[in-house]
Amino acid sequence: MNGIERVKLECKSLHQYLCTLPQALLESLYEHPATCTVVFRELPQLAKYYVMRVLFVDKPITKVAVTSWATNEARSEHTEAVAALCDLHVWNEVILPGGVSSAYSLSFTFRKNLQKTLIGGGESWSSTAHLGPDKHAKDVAELDKYATERWEALLHFLVGSASNSAISQDLQDLLVQSGLIRVGEEDGRRYTNITAKGFQFLLLDSGSQVWFFVLEYLNWVRDRGMNLVPILRFIFELSFSSVGKVSKVCSLPNVTWSQSTKAKFLQDLPTDGKDDRVLQCLQHFREMGLVMQRKRTSRRFYPTRLVINIASRMQNSSSSALSTGFIIAETNYRIYAYTNSELQYAILALFCEMLYRFPNVCVLQLTRESVQTAVVNGITADQILHFIRANAHPDMLKNDPVIAPTLADQVRLWAMERDRLTFQEGVLYNQFLAQHDFEVLRNYARELGALVWENAAKRNMIVTKDAHDQVKRYWKRYKKESGT
């Protein structure tokens, strides 16, 4: 059915995302050493070599000279490296004096700030030394617990579980804009449903989930006319933080800390000097669990594991967000889930019916109704089977294949029942006085690609609704010119 979504979740890499930004914005980003460092480490290996080769060379390098750097065997890698550098405007094409030949010139801004990163210089990015010790410092375990609870609250809202998982209107709007949920209204009540993209999102590991959500957040910020530069710089700064590293607070002069006291402190960052847009971003990240701030007015915050190395999520991942296998699926369509996680129960409830619930296990059933309800909501049979396979219990993984063919085939058959008919709006043309008139109009509609159905014997045809006006105008013009 056309009403069923057939979409694929697109999770861009950092390189792909930065290539979509205009050159002026990239030049502004390169004003900060953190951005230059992140971009440099995500370049192809050969591109890094090219940058280092010209980092301290002020003059442009001719294309002929650059081409000579690579052997014939490495020509494809050379082309990839040059394309990556030019796409990110790290290299810019210039014409040498006299217009005889063209060359590549390393961006002055990128050169200057990458040099600061490598050989020192410039101001410190951030420090909480002036704030003194944090009286409410958290340890690593507390930080991890906070991050997990906040991120799972967002996932609970995504799957529509009954858990107390209210999130702010901004994050709800972000989920809708990113296509992970759809909003509807019935009997005056507003409701949300997970989409096909949302279910694919749940199949990603937590790191890829965070990276995808941050990319969608940046698009959301951009659509609202906000300046991306300070927010991207803030994200790149966070990517260089460390969980469990003693912060500069613990290195204050004239203060002696015991080893046990040092262990209590994590790397913290100050809010001082950050503009309103970054502070607003900080509150959104706080709600997602990417950073921990005791209260909105606190002058320091702590990055969590979810945001560490966020810029290095370069590749799409199809692995499950749930790392430990907990599902056993039997040929009688029973699903046994050995877990205490409410989130995992809520995900399974998207395509199963709950039968029994015990402290450490629940029993569910795959039925025609539950599978077809999932299909209507945009979840495909292959996604259901992939989720079961990706989270299969170690005992189930011993089977070959992991999912019994009878179970897999039945799930696909139930889903295919929704696809037996295809509905398409169209306009019926009939009552032609002559066969020639019918054939003229039919041929025109066919050339347009607008012919849906025809019956030459009865002189009936159906064209798409979108093409109806164009076909109608042609028919009037034809009758006028032919005098019929």
Q: What is the DSSP string of 146-208?
A: HHHHHHHHHHHHHHT-SSS----HHHHHHHHHTTSEEEEEETTEEEEEE-HHHHHHHTS-HHH
Please tell me the predicted confidence (pLDDT) of residue 390.
87
Listed in order, the ranges of the chain carrying CATH 3.30.70.2610 are: 426-482
Phi, psi of 301 (to 5 degrees): -145, 165
The CATH fold of domain 426-482: Alpha-Beta Plaits (3.30.70)
Least reliable range by pLDDT among 269-273, 335-339, 357-361, 462-466: 269-273
Region 246-266 average pLDDT? 38
Please tell me the predicted confidence (pLDDT) of residue 284.
94
Q: What is the pLDDT of residues 100-143, one digit of tens each?
A: 678 999 999 999 999 998 888 766 666 666 677 878 777 888 88
Query: Confidence band (pLDDT; 50, 70, 90) for 164?
Result: low
The CATH fold of domain 14-119: Arc Repressor Mutant, subunit A (1.10.10)
- Is the dihedral angle over the CA atoms 386, 319, 398, 344 positive or is it negative? negative
Phi, psi of 245 (to 5 degrees): -90, 135
User: Mean pLDDT: which of 247-261, 306-320, 410-424 is highest?
Assistant: 410-424
Please tell me the predicted confidence (pLDDT) of residue 174.
93
Please tell me the predicted confidence (pLDDT) of residue 155.
92
Query: Confidence band (pLDDT; 50, 70, 90) for 355?
Result: very high
Q: What DSSP character marks residue 449?
A: T
Q: Measuring CA to CA, how many Å separate 204 from each of 12, 182, 317, 318, 386? A: 13, 20, 6, 5, 11
Please tell me the predicted confidence (pLDDT) of residue 421.
65
Listed in order, the ranges of the chain carrying CATH 1.10.10 are: 14-119
68, pLDDT greater than 50: yes
Please tell me the predicted confidence (pLDDT) of residue 225.
87
460, pLDDT greater than 80: yes
Region 88-111 average pLDDT? 89
